[in-house]
Amino acid sequence: MAGYDTAGQIQDTYVSARDEFGEGPAFWIRYFSPSPAADIFSDNAVAECEGAWASGGHYVGPVSAPYQSNLSGSTAQGQADAQTYAASMLSAYYAVGPLVLPSSKRLYCWLDQEYSTSLSLDYLDGWAGYIANYNFAGLGTYPLYPCLYCDPGSPYPNCSTMAAARGLNVPAAVWSSEPEPCGSLKNAPSSGAEHCATVPTRLWQFGEQDACGYSANVDLDVGTPGFFTPSFCFNVRSDP
């Protein structure tokens, strides 16, 4: 069950991806604010959901890629980035009638930490604490779970920072960017994602556009064994 992540808008991307890979994805991972250099899902949420529905992959997981130096910053910086992220997800949820929370009641919210970015414990505490504590839509179910996209083998602090976190500030899952065997939707690798010592890897970016030579503006991702990624994503349950 492989899917895509992209910094472009789904409605502008899915046709070329289908042409290249021959079928629709199981899910999409899309960027929410703050992601200063990406197209933001909540800025055009209805059209994005229409694209997701048309693509056949009507599950959308959220990722935020803040200005990367922020991740070396303070608790206040982490909290501010998380506040905007949660608000961006809430805005999309309010803007699209058929966009609903996952049936598992656990929405995995990914923070993008790139290879050369250092994650400070202060920032993680502020960021993860806000996400875990967010009373999404006033539902009282606290469905947001902080998670980290990273390269576990990077020499920059990522796994070690998570190992120092405590309680609800410990991310629920890692989305590993390595290794990168490439492949396609039909022949995604089944195992081999890098992992951290204290937080399980649940999602694996096994094919990156530039490294794998994909022409469509997508990276390819797959859940690790036993993890059904769509169950932890927004669900577009009908054509918006």
Partner 1 sequence: MNHSRRCKEVTFVRSLQRTAAAAQGGLASRALIVSRREMLAGGIGAGALIALPDLSTPGARPAASAGSGSRYVLLYGTPESRPFPGGSVAAALSPVTNSRTLPAPKSVAAKLAAAPVSSPDQSSVALITVDKVPAGAKVTLTLVDSTSAVVEKQGSLTITGIPDGTNILPTPVFAPGTATIAVVLAITEPGDKRLVSKKNPHTGAPAPMHAVTWTSHHALAYFDSRSGGFAGPFHLGNAPALALTTAAANGSDLFLWTTEEPRPHHPGKGRPRPAPLPWVSAFPLGSGRARVSVPSPAPWPGGEPAVTLATADVARLVNGRTMQVSSALTGDVTQVTIGALNVIRAKPSAVTMQSRPDGTVFITKPGIGRAVIADPAEEFRVRAELRFPVPAVPLGAPASKAVLSPSGGTLYVLGGAKAGGLSAYDVATGALTASYSHGTTYSGLYQLPSGTLLAVSAANPRLAFFSPALSLLGTADTSLQISAVF
| Smallest separation, CB 77 to partner 1 (Å) | 6
In DSSP terms, 4 is beta-bridged to 28, 220
Strands (E), the chain: 2-6, 28-32, 59-64, 99-100, 107-112, 144-150, 174-176, 201-207, 219-223, 234-236
Residue 94 Cβ vs partner 1, minimum distance, rounded to whole Å: 5
Scan for tokens 């790139």, then name that residue: 114
Q: Which is nearer to partner 1, 125 or 193 (CB)?
A: 125
Q: Looking at beta carbons only, is 23 or 122 nearer to partner 1?
A: 122
Minimum CB distance to partner 1 smaller for 5 or for 50: 5
Nearest distance in Å: CB 235, partner 1: 13
Between 92 and 111, CB nearer to partner 1: 92
**Residue number with CB closer to partner 1 (73 or 230):** 73
> In sequence order, what are the residues at sequence separation of 6 or more whose Cβ sits closer than 8 angstroms to the Cβ of residue 128?
78, 82, 146, 165, 168, 169, 170, 171
- Taking the complex as a whole, the smallest distance from the CB of residue 107 to partner 1 amounts, in Å, to 11
The answer to whether 123 and 164 are in contact (CB under 8 A) is: no
> 9: Cβ–Cβ under 8 A, 6 or more apart, which residues?
39, 41, 44, 47, 48, 51
Q: Where are the beta strands (DSSP E) in 119-200?
A: 144-150, 174-176
For partner 1, the closer of residues 7 and 188 by Cβ is 7
CB of 220 to partner 1, least distance (A): 9
Least CB distance to partner 1 at residue 164 (A): 6
Q: State both tokens at 227.
A: 């993890």
Q: Rounded CA gap, 64 and 193, in Å?
A: 21
